[in-house]
Structure 1
Amino acid sequence: MTTDLSRRTLLGALPLAALGFSQARADGLIERRESQYNTIYITREGPYVAMQFGVNEQLFTENLYDPARPRFLPMEYTRMMTVSLAYAATPSKVLEIGLGGGRTAVYLTDFVPSVSVTTVELDPEVVAMAAKHFDVRPTPRLRVVTSDGRIFLTQTRDRYDIIIVDAYRGTFVPFHLTTQQCFMLAKRRLNPGGVVVQNIAPNVLLTESMVATLQSVFDNVDTFDIAGSVIAIAYDGPAKSAAALAARATALQSQYRFTHPLPQLLRARRTPAKSTRHPLTDDFAPVEHLRGIQAHNARRK
């Protein structure tokens, strides 16, 4: 099995019936749990423990964990989000919206002793399953809060150097976490020199609309294309040069020796042109309809 896995590539979008998950003795099934928000499956896939959500009779992989290699991130998009360390002026305080398997937060706190992470997750059962099967437990530098991400942004008085937005439920993302107003809230919770990181799954969100929305709030947006996802990093101030980012990534890699080298990840950087699309707003965020319209138009060609 390949170890370069992006969101939903492993068993992604396969019918649940075909996988036999209705049977207690289903091959690879470790635990199944219903919550108010999700049907959560924990499965064994080769060397990995997988957290998967069942949505509309399909199964979507949210995260993978290799217990034999706890400092390895099997899913490419989670690796790519760590490149934000090279962007933040002082990467000490991180806010992550959307826990999933929680391994990105653990990775950051494991490698960088000065980093503390607050992770906000709406579903308490996801928090429980991450603790039970992915070894994600609160520590003095890893705090897990059960709340809606936008409500947390509204209520917290803390400021952060990196804010990661990665809230998905299969092919659905809460629209109120995709809008201009939400990113303005996030911007107000940043320390000077801070950055916002958005995971964009193109099969769920239109990349162009998300980039346009981020560009309407921040001075600069860089993107990193990987199989199955686009990671966008947004920040204010002068644009960061390739040379400056490379030097910063090299210095951090030399200091912390990350499993997934930052200079190598940085090579995927792109700087998209200023978008002419309408940004998503609280009164115009048809994230599901936009995807449906695009699919319909593609079929007509």
Structure 2
Amino acid sequence: MDFNLQTYQAEQVLHLSAKGERRLMVQQNSDYRWLEIDGVVQSVMPLIEPTRLCLPHQHVIAWLLPAQAEQILELGLGGGDLTRYLQQRWPLAQHQCVELDEEVLTLYRHYFQPPAQQNTAAITLHHADALIFLEQSDQHYDLILLDLFSQDGNPPQLFQERLYQALAPRLIGPLLINLLPRTVLELNQALQLIEQWIGPATPYPVPGFINVIVHVMPRDTASLDL
């Protein structure tokens, strides 16, 4: 059974909170548990197989992953779908996750973090702004995943040069971005900034969805295979 974004139905509401215009919900049925932010499904976890990816854009990301990664940075946690998947795929990798919303971090720990990953030293969670974290870091990563969400889709910083200036010195391997461009002009603006500050960028539209997964290689490693 697949999680269908058009027909899914909840049997239980595990968490509901509303602050201003923002609403967070954790729901589940007999097969899946999922996180909704402002009515948008952000993460889906199969209850029997928590490391399996369910959302269409995540399958594109998995297809674009490199053969190996040892130092991983994930900017934007949500319900931790990719966190669980990557820990299962590369259990010895050092994996850091940065999430701005403290409540999302709490919900991940309580509802979406498998017991086997709760005490591992390989995963470090940071309550921080992604841009500030990058600008204050001196670490290098052979894989960075960028998946930031706001009420309008992507936050404005994904279409501004400061973010890509901060990413460039941290990368020694591929960067994968889940982009939600509202217009072609917005997509082209992001691609131009990425190529200006980091290196060649290839967009992979997700059929039937607004998501565009952008694969980026830093210039000094752009000749390497995936």
TM bucket, shorter chain: 0.7 to 0.9
Report if the CA contact (8 A) 2:66-2:174 is conserved.
no
Q: Counterparts of 2:176 and 2:31 in 1: how far apart (Å)?
A: 29
Question: Of 150, 160, 177, which aligns to 1:198?
Answer: 177
Q: Which residue of 2 aligns with 1:125?
A: 103
Structure 1: runs of 5 or more not aligned: 13-18, 20-25, 246-301
Question: Of 69, 86, 92, which aligns to 1:114?
Answer: 92
Q: Which residue of 2 aligns with 1:287?
A: none
1:45 Cα deviation after fit: 4.8
* Worse-superposed segment, 117-126 or 28-37: 28-37
Q: Which residue of 2 aligns with 1:233?
A: 215
RMSD: 2.8
- 2:13 maps to a residue whose letter is L
1:143 Cα deviation after fit: 0.7
1:171 Cα deviation after fit: 2.8
Q: Counterparts of 1:27 and 1:67 in 2: how far apart (Å)?
A: 14
Q: Which residue of 2 aligns with 1:266?
A: none
Q: Counterparts of 2:156 and 2:178 in 1: how far apart (Å)?
A: 14
Aligned pair in 2 of structure 1 residues 99, 204: CA closer, same or farther (>3 Å)?
farther
Q: Which residue of 2 aligns with 1:92?
A: 70
Structure 2: runs of 5 or more not aligned: none
Q: TM-score, normalised by structure 2?
A: 0.84
Aligned residues: 219
1:164 Cα deviation after fit: 1.2
Q: TM-score, normalised by structure 1?
A: 0.64
Higher Cα Rg: structure 1 or 2? 1
Identity of aligned residues (%): 20
Q: 1:31-110 alignment to 2 at 5 Å?
A: 31-34=15-18, 38-45=22-29, 47-54=31-38, 59-86=39-66, 91-110=69-88
1:149 Cα deviation after fit: 0.4
SS in 1 for 2:142: strand
Q: Counterparts of 2:182 and 2:119 in 1: how far apart (Å)?
A: 32
Report if the CA contact (8 A) 2:204-2:213 is conserved.
yes
- 1:167 maps to a residue whose letter is L
Question: Of 187, 207, 223, which aligns to 2:203?
Answer: 223
Q: Cα deviation per residue 1:185-213 (whole Å; 9 max; x = unaligned)?
A: 1111123xx12211012448832222222
Q: Larger relative CO (CA 8 A, sep 6+): 1 or 2?
A: 1
Q: Say if 2:168 is the partner of 1:187.
A: yes
1:138 Cα deviation after fit: 5.7
Q: Counterparts of 2:30 and 2:104 in 1: how far apart (Å)?
A: 22
SS in 2 for 1:86: coil
Q: Say if 2:136 is the partner of 1:155.
A: yes
